[in-house]
């Protein structure tokens, strides 16, 4: 839509209309007492709005349609009326179906024994998918970066432990990649590839991962608007991979003074995203909280808001964990969380016309 200045001349309006036609669209000119508004009729994506914004007489040139189309429910409904929600299959687990899914495991893979012990614990607690970090994104180059930092051989060994622990306890597995160099190796060993918050905007990486044709766990950046998040998810669907699970993991805390949590869980994003796209969305309470004692409350809040699942960091001995010990829960705590979340899900699922 092109909004003209109040003082725009007839000639300026005519020039804008002429320019729109060049791009193969039609123009609907609405002349009012205060100003003229020109609606674009046709595919707005052909229009370089920044170009129109500086034509003489133009006040604002804005796209009304959302920048993401392929992932939108509105778009999906045009072709298939009942395609409101997509169920993503990770191994034999369905994400986005009738029951919430719980992904759990340690922040970082530390040893074969650690992985097996935790896998056993989270399975017993009710988790369906196993996680374990091998390439850890870290703020400081001086911090532990995961076993993946030890070179290809060490990385592959850690991947094997994760894979085997998943096999042993019948859970598909997921791990995060952080750079293009890790995609091929990781894809061989896991059922789902995670793209972390800090790589959300990394369009070359998104494209490369999407082409692996595996499910992708895709986290929102902590400074990203929802529209940006969905627009970048579109990069993967544009590669014809629709097995994308979105994940809200907390946004930047706001305001002066001390932070009581590492991030602010944007629980509002859960129902708004559900109304925009058919892709399932889950919540990561562990990174949002950064504190073990908040994980229960944020987990229940996420499920209550309509999340299709949770990803929770768990360790049998958080004090000894090499990374993020302060936010990992024990398998016992995880069991309590999963049990409460199922009850919460039961409490809210009978809503009429949820979205």
State which of positions 184-203 bind its own copies (CB under 8 A).
198-199, 201-203
C-alpha distances out from residue 88 to 85, 278, 302, 329, Å: 10, 11, 19, 27
State which of positions 38-77 bind its own copies (CB under 8 A).
39-42, 44-45, 48, 50-51, 53-55, 64-69, 74
Confirm or reject binding of residue 3 to its own copies (CB under 8 A): yes
Site for its own copies in 162-181 (CB under 8 A): 178-181
Contact of 236 with 246, CB cutoff 8 Å: no
CB of 354 to its own copies, least distance (A): 8
Q: In the window 205-244, what residues touch its own copies (CB under 8 A)?
A: 205, 208, 221-228, 231-232, 234-235, 238
Cβ–Cβ < 8 Å for 44, 25: yes
Q: Which is nearer to its own copies, 89 or 138 (CB)?
A: 138
CB-nearer residue toward its own copies: 164 or 336: 336
CA distances from 131 to 19, 203, 247, 339 (A): 53, 24, 14, 19
Which burial class, exposed, middle or buried, applies to 11 when counting CB atoms under 10 A from its CB (0-12, 13-18, 19+)?
Answer: exposed
Stretch that binds its own copies, among 10-18, 122-130, 140-148, 160-168 (CB under 8 A): 140-148
DSSP letter string over 296-308? Answer: HHHHHHHHHTT-S
Does position 92 bind its own copies by CB under 8 A?
A: no
Question: Residue 245: beta bridge partners?
Answer: 217
Span 294-313, contacts to its own copies by CB under 8 A: 294, 296-298, 300-306
Task: Find the shortest distance in angstroms from Cβ 57 to its own copies.
Answer: 13
Residue 330 engages its own copies in binding (rule: CB under 8 A) = no
Does position 325 bind its own copies by CB under 8 A? yes
């Amino acid at each position: 839509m092109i909004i003209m200045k109040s003082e725009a001349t007839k000639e300026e309006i005519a020039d804008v209309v002429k320019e729109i036609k060049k791009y193969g669209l039609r123009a609907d000119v609405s002349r009012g007492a205060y100003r003229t508004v020109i609606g674009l009729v046709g595919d707005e994506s052909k229009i370089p709005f920044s170009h129109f914004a500086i034509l003489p007489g133009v006040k604002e040139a804005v796209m009304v349609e959302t920048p993401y189309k392929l992932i939108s429910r509105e778009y999906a409904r045009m072709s298939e009326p009942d395609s409101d929600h997509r169920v993503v299959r990770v191994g034999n687990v369905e994400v986005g179906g009738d029951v919430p899914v719980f992904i759990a495991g340690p922040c970082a893979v530390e040893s074969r024994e650690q992985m097996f012990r935790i896998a056993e614990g989270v399975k017993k607690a009710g988790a369906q998918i196993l996680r374990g970090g091998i390439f850890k994104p870290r703020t400081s180059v001086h911090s532990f970066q995961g076993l993946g930092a030890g070179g290809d051989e060490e990385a592959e060994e850690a991947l094997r432990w994760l894979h085997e622990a998943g096999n042993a306890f019948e859970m598909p597995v997921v791990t995060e990649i952080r750079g293009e160099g890790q995609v091929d190796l990781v894809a061989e060993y896991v059922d789902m590839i995670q793209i972390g918050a800090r790589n959300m905007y990394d369009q070359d990486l998104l494209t490369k991962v999407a082409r692996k044709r595996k499910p992708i766990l895709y986290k929102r950046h902590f400074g990203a608007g929802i529209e940006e998040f969905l627009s970048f998810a579109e990069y993967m669907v544009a590669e014809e991979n629709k097995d994308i699970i979105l994940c809200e993991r907390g946004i930047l805390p706001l305001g002066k003074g001390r932070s009581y949590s590492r991030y602010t869980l944007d629980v509002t994003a859960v129902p708004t995203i559900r109304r925009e796209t058919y892709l399932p969305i889950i919540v990561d309470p562990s990174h949002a909280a950064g504190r073990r004692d908040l994980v229960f409350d944020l987990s229940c809040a996420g499920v209550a808001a309509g999340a299709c699942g949770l990803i929770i960091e768990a360790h049998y001995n958080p004090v000894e964990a090499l990374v993020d010990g302060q936010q990992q829960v024990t398998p016992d705590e995880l069991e309590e969380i999963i049990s409460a979340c199922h009850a919460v899900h039961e409490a809210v699922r009978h809503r009429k016309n949820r979205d």
